[in-house]
Amino acid sequence: MFASRRPAFWGGVGHVRYTVFVFVLLASLDNAAVALYPALLRVMARDLGTDEGSLGWVVASIILISALTAVAWGYFGDKGNRKNLLFWGTIIWAAGLVLTTTADSLLEVLGWSAITGVGLGSIASVGFSVISDFISPARRGIAMSFWGLSQGAGGIVGLATGGLLGAEDWRKPFLVVAGAGVIVAIAFLTTFNPPRGRAEPALSSLFDVGTQYDHTIALADVKGLIRKPTNFWLILQGFSAQIAYGSLIWVPLLYQAKVEAQGYSIAIATSVGALFGVMFQLGGITSVASGWLGDRLQKRSPRARALISATGILAAVPFFVVFFFIPLDGLDIPTGGSTAEVVLATFGSVFTNPFVASSFVVALLALTFTSADSPNWFALLTDVNLPEHRGTMFGLGNLVNGLGRSIGQGLTGVAAGKLASSFSVPTNYSLGLALFQIFFLPTGFLYWKASKTCADDIAEVNATLVARSAARE
């Protein structure tokens, strides 16, 4: 697929920066694709003649299928050409979105969305493996924060695109995101495919003389990856954490219900609820500071990344619970206005409505604390695994994460539905979301366990790379 002759700039500084930029776009768009669904659940349910809880399971299935296929994508990426896999993975999920727009029933949406999930699995594991080969150990925290931030930004874009373009016709935003995916896939053909292990200081002497690091994964290696202590704790914490994170996908629906409770139509509620969802995710930008802090403190202690994640996760819980229950009164949104007027009124309510302002501040604090998790998890997973194992290891972690996220996504909707018999909307959503934050508690403990084993695992990786480099010289 790719020509063997390359221009002079190929692999240079400018080309690497361009490649990282395209990777950031890829990571953003795959999250935008998933975020379309929660922004449009109420509109889709009305059009397809089904209920929101059933559509919630569609989102859960996408996450689960993506997680399941990420293991295979990651394994084959660790064995062969990662660039080809990422290109075709992007084309597959874009095709799935387009096909979803042809659906007239819940079953058809589920079937076409499964194709989307298969393609999305490639971005998760293969993309992580590639991006790790651009980043030196000393800068992994801050660099991975941008990788994680791009995914959060994609979620925001998906919410906004779905809420604004899909309030009347839910199919439009699916086509827009699919089109963007195809464009980025084409741009990806011109990116630089980094040699495996390119960023490892222990291998620098190999690359300086033009020698390649030629180790690839073998099937027999997988069992050892799972048994590695730090990998085990990092995988296990992902299950409990993602149950809580998965529940948060219902926040836009919570705020749509709050807006409807103020007397607004479902179309206005869909747009405004999605915009509130966008605003309340802005705290994720602080992950850059968390990644930087992890890099700084990791130089003093190899336990730092894990302990920072544990502290952030546990500190966020009370803020999330308070956020769910803050009422939304006195909202003033123009019902006959243009999209621009709705957007301005919604964002302006942060300054004019004390309830919205309070929700914004509390959500900002909650997400500031949880933002410590993502970059340090990415960086630590890279630190404790050899270059040829990282895609597979991320796929395994993503599999368990996907199981947890699917459970949180699906059961939160079920819990909210059961609570509706005793509590009015949107209180039932608030209670359901608050209930699932308890799963962050074991996450903190498991990160603490990882902090006690990671020093030995990092040292083992470094020793192996040094020995392999010396053997090739």
Using DSSP, state whether 216 is helix, strand or coil: coil
Residue 401 DSSP code: H
DSSP letter string, 444-470: HHHHHHHHTTHHHHHHHHHHHHHHHHH
Radius of gyration for the alpha carbons in the chain, expressed in angstroms and rounded: 22
pLDDT of 427 higher than 90: no
pLDDT in tens, 439-456: 999 999 999 999 999 999
Residue of higher predicted confidence among 293 and 38: 293
pLDDT of 1 higher than 60: no
Nearest to residue 37, comparing CAs of 438, 453, 405, 465? 405
Peptide bond into 426 cis (omega under 30): yes
pLDDT in tens, 126-145: 877 888 888 888 888 888 88
Q: What is the pLDDT of residue 3?
A: 47
Confidence of residue 241 (pLDDT cuts 50, 70, 90): very high
Confidence of residue 91 (pLDDT cuts 50, 70, 90): very high
- Span 373-396, average pLDDT: 90
Q: What is the pLDDT of residue 310?
A: 95
Backbone angles phi, psi at 130, to 5 degrees: -65, -45
User: Do residues 330 and 353 make contact, with C-beta atoms less than 8 angstroms apart?
Assistant: yes
> Between the CA of residue 26 and those of 77, 128, 183, 188, what are the distances in Å?
16, 11, 10, 9
d(CA 40, CA 60): 15
d(CA 337, CA 263): 16
Average confidence score pLDDT of the chain:
85
- Span 72-101, average pLDDT: 89
pLDDT of 240 higher than 90: yes
13-201+223-472 maps to which CATH number? 1.20.1250.20
d(CA 407, CA 431): 17
Residue 194 DSSP code: P
Burial class (CB in 10 A: 0-12, 13-18, 19+), 325: middle
d(CA 226, CA 219): 12
Q: Which residues contact 124 (CB under 8 A, 6 or more apart)?
A: 30, 66, 67, 70, 73, 74, 394, 395, 398
pLDDT of 151 higher than 60: yes
d(CA 451, CA 348): 43
Strands (E), 142-293: none
Burial class (CB in 10 A: 0-12, 13-18, 19+), 40: buried
Q: What is the pLDDT of residue 381?
A: 92
Q: What is the pLDDT of residue 9?
A: 63
- Span 193-208, average pLDDT: 79
Domain ranges of the chain: 13-201+223-472
pLDDT of 8 higher than 70: no
- Span 348-367, average pLDDT: 88
**Residue 304 C-beta-side C-alpha neighbours within 13 Å:** 17
- Span 314-343, average pLDDT: 86
d(CA 405, CA 353): 33
pLDDT of 420 higher than 80: no
Using DSSP, state whether 290 is helix, strand or coil: helix
